[in-house]
Homo-oligomer: A and B are copies of this chain.
């Protein structure tokens, strides 16, 4: 039995008592990477907030720079550094903490992508190697069969003189039927090449996953 709540949407109001100390710290119009480009107009407002004053929005470029720099030297954030940074940037310590938190999350995802790409190329390499080995092995097997046949011939030829087999290595000669499933004898038989197809993505590219097709 749920606890009522159905129509929840907890409200907020009556919360306006607390601080409002940061009038215009945010919102530096930063034409960061690109300029020119027509400023896009957004529909603003949206029903809710009504008297929405100082929403969140955008740390300035230098703020981000400093934060980024700090993040680079250490992903963790001890409260000392946090407070120092906060006052240095004119931000709430809370914001600094949040920033680091989000940054870590972002970093993790990025790392994951990198790892994926790395693994993928490694895998591709391994698969190719494996194919090479397979065909080489086939080749070896054929050669071994030929060799064994040759031995048979020689033994038969030398039939009269000595019918007994006393060669030291003869003990290992015929145990190979088990793994002797040689297929056709063509050199470099790549019938296993389908391995290369298992999961063809672009790999090194930008969209090495077709992340927007399958549902669920």
Q: Which residues of A contact B (CB under 8 A)?
A: 1-13, 15-16, 18-22, 25, 45-58, 60-62, 72-75, 90, 92, 94-95, 104, 107-109, 111-113, 115-116, 118-120, 122-123, 126-127, 129-130, 133-134, 136-137, 140-141, 143-144, 146-151, 153-155, 157-158, 167, 169-170, 172-173, 176, 179, 195, 198-199, 209, 211-212, 215-216
When distances are taken between beta carbons in the complex, the residues of chain B under 8 Å from A90 are: 7
CB distance from A80 to the nearest CB of B (A): 18
| Contact among B52, B108, B113 for A51, CB-based, below 8 A | B52
Copies in the complex: 2
| Contact among B7, B11, B153 for A16, CB-based, below 8 A | B11
Contact A49/B53 with A10-B11, A144-B143 known, Cβ cut-off 8 Å: yes
The 7 closest A-B pairs by CB, nearest first: A2-B50, A49-B54, A12-B55, A48-B54, A19-B47, A20-B50, A51-B53
Name the CB-closest residue of B to A4: B47
CB atoms of A147 and B140 under 8 A apart: no
| Contact among B53, B154, B195, B209 for A155, CB-based, below 8 A | B154
